[in-house]
Amino acid sequence: MTQRVYNFTAGPAMLPLPVLQRVHEEFFDFQGLGASIIEISHRSPEFEALLKETEGLLRELMDIPATYKVVFCHGGGQMQFSMVPLNLMGLKPAGKALYVESGLFSARAAEEAARYGVVTIAASSKDTGFDRIPWVNTDAVDRAASYFHLTTNNTVMGTRWNSFPSTDGVPLVGDATSEILSRPLDLRSFGALYAGAQKNLGPAGLAVVIIREDLLGHAHPLTPKLLNYTQLAHDGSLTNTVNTFAIYVTRLVLEWLKGEGGVAAIERVNERKAARVYRAVDRSGGFYRGLAQKEHRSVMNVTFDLSSPALQGRFLKEAGEAGLYALKGHSARGGLRASLYNAMPMAGAEALAGFMEEFQRRNG
Amino acid sequence: MTQRVYNFTAGPAMLPLPVLQRVHEEFFDFQGLGASIIEISHRSPEFEALLKETEGLLRELMDIPATYKVVFCHGGGQMQFSMVPLNLMGLKPAGKALYVESGLFSARAAEEAARYGVVTIAASSKDTGFDRIPWVNTDAVDRAASYFHLTTNNTVMGTRWNSFPSTDGVPLVGDATSEILSRPLDLRSFGALYAGAQKNLGPAGLAVVIIREDLLGHAHPLTPKLLNYTQLAHDGSLTNTVNTFAIYVTRLVLEWLKGEGGVAAIERVNERKAARVYRAVDRSGGFYRGLAQKEHRSVMNVTFDLSSPALQGRFLKEAGEAGLYALKGHSARGGLRASLYNAMPMAGAEALAGFMEEFQRRNG
């Protein structure tokens, strides 16, 4: 096995090494079947058991109440940008929804939802380049809205909600793609919470949706069968052939996380990792400049600029040579970004922060 | 590495051993990046190159004309049951489509399409339990229909079209999920051809769509962004994070197929494999009974019953002990089914046929 880099990509992202080792070890022979996990039917008893275990682990780790369904969907977080309005816009007769615009992906979610109903931007931080979570006037929440959508962690600019607005009975729908399982999230605050797999769960092409049962049953008549939460919940996600490999890896990731002590334990590690990198930014005397306002900073995606943009190419080149991979920011913003998902060990954050400090000494 | 079985599952199905070996070998380190293929961004130069190579190999192997776009979609063949009508029903003002009902999945495709327009069953073999491909009265094809849909190979009952009907200018749309790349298919006969990956291409959660450029641009306004062929073609399939692992394995499968001599060469092997198993059925004097009418038999899915249904449990048990895996038929029909996709070697068909003959000697 060759040297592994510290991989700071925003996703598809780094996975825990013990998970990769397990996939590698049993790749030719899943549970003694004489076939690979990617060669067996999604309706085989072995896979059906695996799917149930995956859901069970997720329920345990996230403390999901029994009144919520868990469904596995094709397509990642962005497929949910369509599925949420297709399934939930019809919850109330007005056919309207509220969206908070706190970054690139939340804006895309709102844009897609506008196909299916009347979308109102309840709050936005666009005016300051999405460097913060906008303030929501909870007194003004329209109770005729079918749901209220927000992105719990914003990957591009690196901000997150520390507490969630009270929406006066309007179901809160959260996109937790880039932070699911990184800190406890109380499901009881949400009508639905979803996440694409490719950051904290497993490989790409899969999303998990956790939805309160009473919100089912209101899909638009033109909802494609595989995009219908009610259908998927009824079929235990097996409406068609699911992304079996991604679910298999997700189960291994959940087992690994349980072994690490669960969500509360990994949250403590995540906070230490982020604090270490933010310290290198904040103590640089302006050599590095954080993109997000301090009180809104993400623990998963640390974003910053170099005060001298001309140095960015050298920074990325030398970081790469030091085994620090994929630190370039999202193309929509530029700059630098270190994604510190659950699989990133403390040593990776230490290595990055140390490199940043050393780079500053040589170039400051 | 343990003993591999001969895996006759209908899908997710057996993959070529050299492909699995390659995945295993480079699993921790893709192209010297120090990260696994499942840990890198779909927008990294390495993955973008891989995606282009995959499309290039598919174009070469299938001789796809330059006037056709190739897109990779989330969700397998059944997602196409929605995507086809969402994208193509609007091609003509009448908003209607013709479907041939030749099996379980073609019926499901028609049912789903009826959400989006007026669906007429142009021909059906339901009256004889889908044991044949129905005759199509090509003189009666409604030229006001937007498209004409058929399933080129029917997985459940094991039938296939040997030649395709002339549809008088109405674009033919083919579901080739269970036989893509197993025999030459002339794209010029089709307006669009699609296939879920999990039989002859790679792991589940991916579909390939090959579509004539002039059919783009007519999607229903409520089409979800990720289900819009025009959008996907515009974005080179990278509208969002694709199923990177499935595309990676698909590229390896295509390389393997090219090394085997391509589609015409594998077709000859496929015909020998199917002929060997059908011989065991046909020479059994009625001990085994083929489900499909002979002239409509599939080369990919060989289906049969035991004349004595009471023997089926023993057959499956002893076959399993002999390393012949997953011979149980689809739950909608029961009976036995041997799927002989491209990755099944001739030796697997020999082993199955030999077992069948021997089982008959002991139980006939």
Which residue reads 């015409």 in tokens?
Answer: B264
Q: Are B168 and B144 in contact (CB under 8 A)?
A: no
User: Taking a C-beta distance cutoff of 8 angstroms, is the pair A324, A355 a contact?
Assistant: yes
Q: Are A228 and A340 members of one domain?
A: no
Helix (H, G, I), strand (E, B) or coil at A53: helix
Same domain, yes or no, for A114 and A149? Answer: yes
Q: Is residue B349 part of a domain?
A: yes
Measured on CA atoms in the order B191, B195, B201, B206, is the torsion positive or negative? Answer: positive
Assess whether B222 and B273 both reside in one domain.
Answer: no
Q: Which uninterrupted H or E stretch holds A139?
A: none
Asked which of A259, A278, A297 is the last residue of a domain, the reply is A259
CB hemisphere CA count around A364 (13 angstroms) = 13
Share of chain A above pLDDT 70, in %: 99
Residue A170 lies in a domain: yes
Nearest CA in chain B to A75: B74
- Residues of chain A positioned with their CB less than 8 A from the CB of B2: 28-29, 32, 34
Domain holding B296, by residue range, is 262-363
A109, A175 Cβ separation under 8 angstroms: yes
Q: What is the model's pLDDT at position A5?
A: 97
B65, part of any domain: yes
* Type of residue numbered A113: A
CA distance B75 to chain A (A): 5
Residue type, A96: K
- Residue B193 is assigned to a structural domain of this protein: yes
Residues A255 and A265 both lie in one domain: no
Residue B1: predicted pLDDT: 46
Whole-number pLDDT of residue B2: 56
Domain end point (choices B227, B259, B291): B259
Which token pair is A57?
Answer: 């682990």
Residue B153 and residue B249 in one domain: yes
> Which is it for the CA torsion A103, A108, A113, A119, positive or negative?
positive
pLDDT over threshold 80, residue A274: yes
- Distance, in angstroms, between B115 CA and closest chain A CA? 6
Average pLDDT of span A181-193? 97
Say if A96 falls within a structural domain. Answer: yes
Residue type present at position B168? D
Comparing CB atoms, the residue among B33, B43, B74 nearest residue A325 is B33
On chain A, the residues whose CB falls within 8 A of the CB of B38 are 12, 15, 202-204, 249
pLDDT(A1) > 60: no
Q: Is residue B99 part of a domain?
A: yes
Clarify whether residues A71 and A219 are in a common domain. yes
Q: Taking residues A187-209, report their average pLDDT.
A: 98
Please report, rounded to a whole number, the percentage of residues in chain A having pLDDT higher than 90: 98
- Examine residue A11 and state whether it is found in any structural domain, yes or no: no
> Structure pTM?
0.98
Cβ atoms of A177 and A195 within 8 Å: the answer is yes
- Co-location of A234 and A178 in the same domain: yes
Q: Which amino acid is at B23?
A: V
Q: Which of B106, B131, B156, B150 is nearest to B296 (CA)?
A: B131
Q: pLDDT tens, position by position, for chain B (364 residues)?
A: 458 999 999 999 999 999 999 999 999 999 999 999 999 999 999 999 999 999 999 999 999 999 999 999 999 999 999 999 999 999 999 999 999 999 999 999 999 999 999 999 999 999 999 999 999 999 999 999 999 999 999 999 999 999 999 998 999 999 999 999 999 999 999 999 999 999 999 999 999 999 999 999 999 999 999 999 999 999 999 999 999 999 999 999 999 999 999 999 999 999 999 999 999 999 999 999 999 999 999 999 999 999 999 999 999 999 999 999 999 999 999 999 999 999 999 999 999 999 999 999 999 8
User: Rg of the Cα trace of chain A?
Assistant: 21
Q: How confident is the model at residue A2 (pLDDT cuts 50, 70, 90)?
A: low
**Beta pairing partners, A297:** A159
- Among B26, B104, B11, B103, smallest CA distance to B344 is for B11
Torsion of CA A103, A104, A110, A112, to 10 degrees: -170
Residue A189 within any structural domain of the chain: yes
Are residues A211 and A344 located together in one domain of the fold? no
CA distance B186 to chain A (A): 27
Q: How many CB atoms lie within 10 A of CB A48?
A: 14
Using an 8 Å CB-CB cutoff, list chain B residues near A78. Answer: 225-226, 239-241
| Interhelix angle B244-259/A244-259, nearest 10 degrees | 130
| Residue in A4, A41, A76 nearest the CB of B35 | A4
Residue A364, pLDDT > 90, answer no
In tens, the pLDDT along A74-127 reads 999 999 999 999 999 999 999 999 999 999 999 999 999 999 999 999 999 999
**Is A213 found in the same domain as A280?**
no
pLDDT at A261 over 50: yes
Which B residues, 185 through 244, put their C-beta within 8 Å of a C-beta on chain A? 196, 198, 202-206, 220-222, 224-227, 239-244
Omega of the bond leading into B134 within 30 degrees of 0 (cis): no
Q: What is the pLDDT of residue A3?
A: 83
> Which tokens hold the place of B113?
């399409």
CATH classification of the domain holding A210 = 3.40.640.10
Query: CA torsion B282→B286→B290→B296, rounded to 10°?
Result: 60
ipTM over 0.95: yes
Work out the angle between the directed axes of helices A263-282 and A346-363 (0-180°, nearest 10): 0
Closest CA to A142 of A162, A164, A124, A119: A119
Which of residues B244, B259, B274 is at a domain's end? Answer: B259
Q: Which of A26, A59, A17 lies closest to A208 in space, CA to CA? A: A59
Token readout for B232 is: 């996907």
Q: Is the pLDDT of residue A16 over 60?
A: yes
User: Chain A within 8 Å of B321 (Cβ-Cβ)?
Assistant: no
Instruction: Residue A73: name the closest of B75, B291, B48 by CA.
Output: B75
Element of type H or E holding A71: strand A68-74
Looking at the structure, tell me whether residues A231 and A276 fall in a common domain.
Answer: no
Q: How many domains does chain A have?
A: 2
3 state DSSP class of B211 = strand
CATH code at A351? Answer: 3.90.1150.10
CB contacts of A1 in chain B (<8 Å) are 28-29
Same domain as A305, residue A253 = no
Quick one: B336 and B222 in the same domain?
A: no
